[in-house]
Structure 1
Amino acid sequence: MKLFHCDVDPDMQIPAYNDRCTSEEKPMGLTSCLTGGIIGGPKTPQFLVLEVHFNNPYFEKRKYDAGIMEVGLEYNPKNSIPPGSTAFRVFGYCDSECTQIGLPSKNGRIITLNIDRHYSSHFQEIRFLLKLIKIEQDDTIIHTCIYNTEIRTNVTFGGYSINDEIYFHAKTSIDQIIYENYKSIHWTPITSSILQIFYEEAPIHLSCNGSDGNYLPKYNWQNDYFSQGPKQLDVPLDKAQCK
């Protein structure tokens, strides 16, 4: 998928066109529509062209090409990372109950992974696996991420913000108290290791959601916290860790 900027005068009429961008029949007025460029500012182009490539070698429609499975942590302060850690591990779970009701009976294979090293909301990289991984109903999936926060001086909160802390609404005094409590913790290797043990052994809350963000129809959302199952802790450290 490509998005083109049309750097033309705002009063210019852009011709309608829906065909190959390399076609000889492409109108001359679209020659100024190029990929790349700066977004924002007074001289930002006001016209955009979206180019989408589809490939279906068959003579009939396919019901599904692929699906996306997300395994990770809820975006909240319960999943936070202390500063000064060389390899702090957090775990995201997809319990067997989720795969039982969420996966089709024919099961599936994991073909690609979305790399989250130095994650940016502006760009996500997807890589193909050298060996396909088969996922079956009743499987439990554990996603481990190892963080290096040696250059950080404050705790990194779980949340939706792109900064190093979760957003708090400052109009209520209780939020300010929670915020100050988090900031007042003196993080040491001992306190960090205690938090690490807590993350590894404490019961977990499971959210088994569909693509619309709601619980799957057959999922018992009234379930309380789950005990963590066995997991492999000797995860090899990647050279490019999450920071």
Structure 2
Amino acid sequence: MNLESQDAEVDDVVRTYDVIKAASPEMETWAAMNLDPLPVREVFATRKMTIARDSAGRLFRFAFNITVALGADSCFKIQMFAGAAAEDLARAHDIVRKAKLGLFYGDMWEPHTFTIPERSEGWIMARAFHEPGYEQTNELVRCNEPGCVSEYHVSIRGEEVLHETEGLSDPDGWYTVRAFKDGSSGWRAFFDVTALDSLEGPEDLPILERALNDYKWVLGEAEELNRAARQNTTRKAA
């Protein structure tokens, strides 16, 4: 379906949960057994989101689809389209949350046969949603920064995003240390020492020693990421 085509097509496909009745006890039980245990995965596609108006002039966004497979790869998979916003991702997660509670009806979820990674049965939710007209100020951006733990970032009006490594945390919760990178600057190690303020006396020396060792490890990781980035830049310039 191309949402940029005839307005009538938009009228035909739009569905919202606003008009759906409460889940039946039978559906709640089925969803609790079959849907609630499933993990939720997020993937990002190169396909671009589309926006259209229906015959009444209302704005609709087609920014994602959701699949649920019951098989070897059982999960809810949210596929975000290029140009989607953080609000779109939040809406997708809300749909999954409601599906797990039993709001899982045929006018939203259509039966589908999956062939990857193996043949299995499931459902797909591919609908445009009415949007009352918020001004999109952010966009989900796929992260391609080596070393960053985030699969995507929220870019506010095109501003630079903040990358971060997984880092290290003290098992007793005394500190966290990780590396950050923003804009064109390199990776830098940062230390959250808030909890360390309460340490005093020689009995706490092992904690400080662990903190210093972890900081040195993350600092080395940041230096290695920066070295790799410089080498990559040199190769591209050659």
- Using structure 2 for the length normalisation, give the TM-score: 0.28
- Using structure 1 for the length normalisation, give the TM-score: 0.28
- Give 1 or 2: higher strand fraction: 2
